[in-house]
Every structure is written in C-alpha cells, then in structure tokens.
Amino acid sequence: PVVTGMEVEEKPEVSYDQIGGLEEQVREVKETVELPLKKPELFEKIGIEPPKGVLLYGPPGTGKTLLAKAVAHETNATFIKIVASEFVRKYIGEGARLVRGVFELAKEKAPSIIFIDEIDAVAAKRLKSSTSGDREVQRTLMQLLAELDGFESRGNVGIVAATNRPDILDPALLRPGRFDRFIEVPLPNEDARREILKIHTSGMALAEEVDIELLSRITDGASGADLKAICTEAGMFAIREERDEVTMADFMDAVDKIMGVEKEEEYKQE
C-alpha cells in the first residue's frame, strides 16, 4: 500500500564518507546496528542478544538521517523511513495498524533498516488528561512496543529512531530489549564543521581564495544542514551574478544570510 509519511529506498546512496565529524557515532552505529545484520553468528556463538534498536538524539540537521541511511547502504539493506509525527496527524485511528504494516514490510524486504524519525511524537511520557487524540497516540505507541518486543533481532531488521527531545520520551521505550543504545548526535565543533564544509564544497567550482578554515571558525552553532545551506546559498549568489566560480565573498554573504535567519528565529521564539 502507498503510505505517505513513509519512504522506502533500496540501498540508499549515502556512505559513511559523506558524513562529516561524528566518527564516534559512526563507530557505535556500526557496532550496534551493522554488526548484528552482517554477522549474526558472532552473537549466536557468544550467546548474547544483539542490540535491537538504537536511539539517536540531538538537535535538528546534525546527520541522524544520514547515519541511518549510511548503515543501510553499508549492509545493502532497504531503508524504510517513517516520520512519527506525520503518522499521528494523517492516519487517525490507523496508527497502530500502520506500525504493524511497516514491520511486516521490513521483514519482507529484509535485510532492512527501519528509521523512525521524530519518535517523540508517539512516545512522549504518558499524559494524565487524555483526549481521544492522546489515546490514539497511546495505541500507536503500544503497537510499536509490541512490535519491538515481538521481533527477533536476528531477523535481519535493524531499528534506528531519532528525536530532538529525548527528555520527553516514555521510559517504557527505553527498557532493555527495546531501544538499548542511545547515541548523542551533537552540533559539530570546529573540526567537524571543516569536514562537513569540505564534503559539501567538494564538487563546487571554488575561487582560489575560498578559506574553508576561516569558514569553519566563524560558523559556531551551525548544524550540518546549515553548513550545507551555506554552500548552496553561496553557489546561488555566484549563479545570480553569472560568475563561474564561487568566491569567499559569496560564502560570507551566505553565512550572514543562513546564520542571520537562525538568530532571528531564536529571537522570535523568546
């Protein structure tokens, strides 16, 4: 069935070398998600249950989706992404059935990675007052927990969930045998920003004076997604002026534009 809010990709094209920074996170994801898919016999031999699911948490745009896609790529797995908040909004009364459907599809298409984005939308701590909407969210969560409990982690399906709000998650989700590893995906530091800028400028026609070092220094607070936006924006300035190279001035204008917008949004929220 065609389900919006779900995206299926056979072996995504993203590889680990397209991820800047996050070496430690890549290592952990390899060990917890990749290894059980690639070498289930290692776990059998030693006699332990492989981890079933990992939870990635951190600010938006830091590479959580990229990480999940890279694992799928590396394991030749089908990548199945669902956005929990969209499920709740679009399929009132059907959330639980859809969760079941997603797990069935994952088994059919195995090996596969189920990526559940914005999991907090269905897995926030139980609220005291319960409207019918809350009860629907509850039912979806219960089904998700049932699926997590029911499935054999050696069954060629890995689960990766992501959230910006780990603080509001229902502790039931975090019990052993469900999501048993938490991996923080933070904003990039200067070194990571340099790596990310290198990745996103690697195919660009850069003027000689473009100084990636300097750019990585002045973009404190930018996420990977912001850095990508800065590169695209700089390219747009060059195109608009019909130049065939992107200059440092283009990048500086792009930094102002992208970082400036963020500051304004923060200001509005206060």
Closest approach, Cβ 25 to ligand ATP, in A, equals 9
Closest approach, Cβ 147 to ligand ATP, in A, equals 22
Closest approach, Cβ 88 to ligand ATP, in A, equals 16
| Binding mask of the shown chain, residues 28 to 47, with x at each position contacting ligand ATP by CB under 6 A | --------------------
Of the candidate spans 14-22, 147-155, 175-183, 233-241, the one that interacts with ligand ATP by CB under 6 A turns out to be 14-22
Nearest to 187 by CA among 262, 82, 264: 262
Which string of DSSP letters, residue by residue, matches 83-100? EHHHHHHH-TTTHHHHHH
- 209-268 residues in contact with ligand ATP (CB under 6 A) are 224-225, 228
Report how far residue 159's alpha carbon sits from residue 30's, in angstroms, rounded to the nearest whole number. Answer: 13
Strand 179-184 relative to strand 112-117, pairing: unpaired
Tokens of 154: 């050696």
Cβ 59 vs Cβ 164: under 8 Å = yes
Residue 78 annotated as binding? Answer: no
Cβ 63 vs Cβ 164: under 8 Å = no
Closest approach, Cβ 42 to ligand ATP, in A, equals 29
When the beta carbons of 94 and 262 are compared against ligand ATP, the nearer one is 262
| Binding mask of the shown chain, residues 58 to 77, with x at each position contacting ligand ATP by CB under 6 A | --xxxxxxx-----------
Q: What is the 3-state secondary structure (H, E, C) of 179-237?
A: EEEEEECCCCCHHHHHHHHHHHHCCCCECCCCCHHHHHHHCCCCCHHHHHHHHHHHHHH
Report how far residue 120's alpha carbon sits from residue 143's, in angstroms, rounded to the nearest whole number. Answer: 15
- 174-203 residues in contact with ligand ATP (CB under 6 A) are 196, 199
When the beta carbons of 60 and 260 are compared against ligand ATP, the nearer one is 60
Interacting residue ranges for ligand ATP, rule: CB under 6 A: 19-22, 60-66, 117, 162, 164, 196, 199, 224-225, 228
